[in-house]
Amino acid sequence: MDINRIEQMIAALSTTITARVKQYHKERTYLTTFDGNTCTGSIHWRDQNKPGVTPKLIIIHSTDQDCPIHGKPQNGQRLRIYVGTDSTKQHAAVEAIERERERTTVARRVRAMETAIHRSKGELNSALSFLGLPHLDPDPNWPTRQSQLSQ
């Protein structure tokens, strides 16, 4: 492999890292828009299949996860929140659960992006070392390994 091809590969990898960092910052900014008004519970309907009976919404939380809206389960017990038949309350509860699912998805995507950026930086620095060139100074906008570990 000639030096020109290696230089092209390094330039392409650097461009890829820059694009990943840009997308990372967009996703990270979006993640901050979730204001804690999310619910970690799951939806359960009572009397949903009974003719002539209005279904009642109950939100059930796991025993080991705090909910930003409803708090922390006590003594390993599940939190059961009765929402009832009020359609306005039902709609708000369902939206809060959907926001939490979106927040969780975005957080996973951000962690995956951090991993991909670190892997790409490692590949780039390996190529530079192979050529006897100094390692790339990290861009201050790139996520640090510490930010990845704090998630």
pLDDT in tens, 39-90: 999 999 998 889 998 899 999 999 888 899 998 888 888 899 999 999 999 9
Give the up-direction half-sphere exposure of residue 57: CA atoms within 13 A in the CB hemisphere. Answer: 16
User: Can you tell me the distance from the alpha carbon of 91 to that of 15, in angstroms, rounded to the nearest whole number?
Assistant: 44
- The model's pTM is 0.75
pLDDT in tens, 1-37: 577 777 787 788 878 888 888 899 999 999 999 888 8
H/E stretch holding 140 reads none
Instruction: Report helix, strand or coil for 109.
Output: helix
Label residue 141 by pLDDT band (50, 70, 90).
low
Total domain count, the chain: 2
User: Can you tell me the distance from the alpha carbon of 81 to that of 94, in angstroms, rounded to the nearest whole number?
Assistant: 12
Same domain, 46 and 92: yes
Same domain, 23 and 55: no
Same domain, 111 and 132: yes
Same domain, 118 and 138: yes
Per the DSSP assignment, residues forming a β-bridge with 67 are: 71
Q: What is the CA angle 15-19-21, rounded to 5?
A: 115
Task: Note down the domain range covering 88.
Answer: 42-96
